[in-house]
Amino acid sequence: MIKGTVKGKVWSSRRVPSLPSGALLDVETESGARMIAFDPLGCNTGETVLITQGSVAAAYFNGRNAPVDALIIGSIDDDTNT
């Protein structure tokens, strides 16, 4: 998984039907790269989050063929000792 910081929300009105409704967050990773992750947890801008990628992310949607390859799976506690 990778760590990232939420930078804001992304809106996509024109989309494939199989993309589940829910928040799409713009996230900056520790390497400075940007990605868009589906957020099932309701995270906020500035929050440090944990992201899983690839078919592992899509599997969260239990066989619905959701075209999601990046998923926020946790919010990282502030006192994480790294």
* Site residues, a copy of itself (CB under 8 A): 1-3, 7-16, 18-19, 24, 26, 30-31, 33-38, 40-41, 50, 52-60, 62, 65-71, 73-77, 79-82
CB of 49 to a copy of itself, least distance (A): 9
CB of 39 to a copy of itself, least distance (A): 10
Q: What's the chain's length in residues?
A: 82
Rounded CA-CA distance 13/21 in Å is 10
Taking CA atoms, 18 is separated from 21, 36, 41, 67, in Å, by 9, 17, 20, 7
CB of 21 to a copy of itself, least distance (A): 12
Q: Which residues pair with 72 in a beta bridge?
A: 51
Using an 8 Å Cβ cutoff, are 61 and 68 in contact? yes
